[in-house]
Amino acid sequence: QQQVKQSPQSLIVQKGGISIINCAYENTAFDYFPWYQQFPGKGPALLIAIRPDVSEKKEGRFTISFNKSAKQFSLHIMDSQPGDSATYFCAASKGFSGGYNKLIFGAGTRLAVHP
C-alpha cells in the first residue's frame, strides 16, 4: 500500500524559476513530514521538515506548504539553481507519537534546473 504519493516524477525548471513538488498522504496518524535531497551516488540528506500544527515553514529558498485537511504537502524551491538539480523525496512518519522515526517515502522527483 503506497501511503505517500509524490508528483511529478520529473521536473525541468529554468534557472531562477520556482520548482514545486507535491505529496499526498493517507495515514492521518502521520505527524512529521520531511523532505530529503539526494544527489547521484549519495544517500539522501534532510532538507527541511514540518509538523502538522503549522501550515508553512521556510528555510532560505526552500518552503514547505502543508494542508492538513487535504492531506497534502508540497516543497517550493524559489530562485532554483543548477546546483539544486537532484532527486527530491517527501516522507512521512509517526515520529513524534511513535517513539521512533520510521519514514515512509514518496517515489521521488528528479529535478533538473537548466542554466
Partner 1 sequence: GAGVSQSPSNKVTEKGKDVELRCDPISGHTALYWYRQRLGQGLEFLIYFQGNSAPDKSGLPSDRFSAERTGESVSTLTIQRTQQEDSAVYLCASSSNGIGRRSLYEQYFGPGTRLTVT
Contacts with partner 1 by CB under 8 A lie at 4, 6, 32, 34, 41-46, 49, 89, 91, 95-96, 100-108
For partner 1, the closer of residues 20 and 49 by Cβ is: 49
Q: Compute the least distance from the CB of residue 16 to partner 1, in Å.
A: 28
For partner 1, the closer of residues 41 and 83 by Cβ is: 41
Q: Compute the least distance from the CB of residue 21 to partner 1, in Å.
A: 13
Q: Using CA atoms, how far apart are residues 91 and 53, in angstroms rounded to an integer? A: 17
Q: Compute the least distance from the CB of residue 64 to partner 1, in Å.
A: 14
Instruction: Give pairs for 63-66: CB < 8 Å, separation 24+.
Output: 64/33, 64/35, 66/33
Strand, coil or helix: what is 92? strand
For partner 1, the closer of residues 10 and 14 by Cβ is: 10
For partner 1, the closer of residues 20 and 103 by Cβ is: 103
Residue 97: all three cell numbers together: 507519537
For 20, 43, 82, the CA distances from 110, given in Å and listed in that order, are 12, 15, 13
